[in-house]
Amino acid sequence: MKLKAEETLLSEVIHNSPFTMTGPLLLRQFLLHHRLLFRNFNGLAVGALPPPPPRRLCCCSTVPSDQADDNVTSTSSNPNYVWKAKEASSSSSSFQDDPEYRKWKDKEEEILKDIQPIVLLTKDILHSRRYMDGEQLSAEDEKAVVDNLLAYHPRSEDKIGCGLESIMVDRHPQFRQSRCLFVVRTDGGWIDFSYQKCLREYIRDKYPMHAERFIREHFRRGRSD
């Protein structure tokens, strides 16, 4: 009850902030970290973290599954498969001296360098033998995924639900040919989330002037958001 009251008060303060464009994103990130800190504090208070929750046979939430959004790319072992392969046409050289084109290419390179570390980590988690099906991520990998992906999911609070216990990699019940990331909740339930949705939201927030063009040119789409 105390955690809920604190989150409600923080929500009102942030939503009333004059920075209306960044308020919702700041709220999602702050509440997410607030819940993680509360979880860790409770675990340390009793001397040890609670044992992993029992696995369920299906997702327990009414929140729509994200897996179809990632499904078109998640079966490849190539870390860079998430990006569309584009061949330069013979006529493209005529744009090389265009100042606007050069500005776009510079920004495109900046965005690619920005997101490359988390993209490579995610592809390694999903496609290598680093984790078995149903295995929870290490503390280091979990922090990277939560901070750089889950915090930016457009429905992160719905995905986390009653609380975040851990991040797991497994095969989706409806898409057995591919693996995806799951939020494991404190009540033992679990639900998948799309790392591509998280990346797109991050890019839209940090690079609003170039986001849609970058997303259109570099992301494959499984379904609409």
Mean pLDDT throughout 103-112? 96
Nearest to 218 by CA among 196, 192, 194, 193: 196
Residue 60 has pLDDT above 70, yes or no: no
Domain CATH number, residue 68:
3.10.450.40
- Say yes or no: 32 and 118 in one domain: no
Distances 56 to 116, 134, 172, 188, 189 between C-alpha atoms, Å: 33, 11, 12, 7, 7
Residue 176 has pLDDT above 50, yes or no: yes
% residues pLDDT > 70 (the chain)? 56
Could you list the residue range(s) of the whole structural domain that residue 114 is in?
51-86+94-225
- Say yes or no: 149 and 79 in one domain: yes
Between CA 224 and CA 85 the distance in angstroms is 21
More confident position, 1 or 128? 128
Residue 65 has pLDDT above 80, yes or no: no
- Say yes or no: 123 and 203 in one domain: yes
- Say yes or no: 152 and 41 in one domain: no
Between CA 87 and CA 59 the distance in angstroms is 40
- Say yes or no: 41 and 69 in one domain: no
The residues facing 167 across adjacent strands are 183
* pLDDT value of position 86: 46
Note the pTM of the prediction, 2 decimals: 0.64
- Say yes or no: 183 and 198 in one domain: yes
- Say yes or no: 106 and 8 in one domain: no
Average pLDDT, whole number, for the chain? 74
- Say yes or no: 41 and 56 in one domain: no
3 state SS for the chain: CHHHHHHHHHHHHHHCCCCCCCHHHHHHHHHHHHHHHHHHHHHHHCCCCCCCCCCCCCCCCCCCCCHHHHHCCCCCCCCCCCCCCCCCCHHHHHHCCCHHHHHHHHHHHHHHHHHHHHHHHHHHHHHCCCCCCCEECCHHHHHHHHHHCHHHCCCHHHHHCCCEEEEEEEEECCEEEEEEEEEEECCCCEEEECHHHHHHHHHHHHCCCCHHHHHHHHCCCCCCC
* pLDDT value of position 150: 98
Contact status, residue 178 vs residue 71, Cβ threshold 8 Å:
yes
Mean pLDDT throughout 35-41? 49
- Say yes or no: 31 and 69 in one domain: no
Residue 13 has pLDDT above 60, yes or no: no
- Say yes or no: 102 and 115 in one domain: yes
Task: Tokens for 193, please give them.
Answer: 């989330």
- pLDDT of 70-103, one tens digit each? 643 433 344 444 444 444 444 455 667 788 899 9
- Say yes or no: 186 and 149 in one domain: yes
Last residue of a domain, one of 31, 47, 63: 47
How many domains, the chain? 2
- Say yes or no: 66 and 135 in one domain: yes
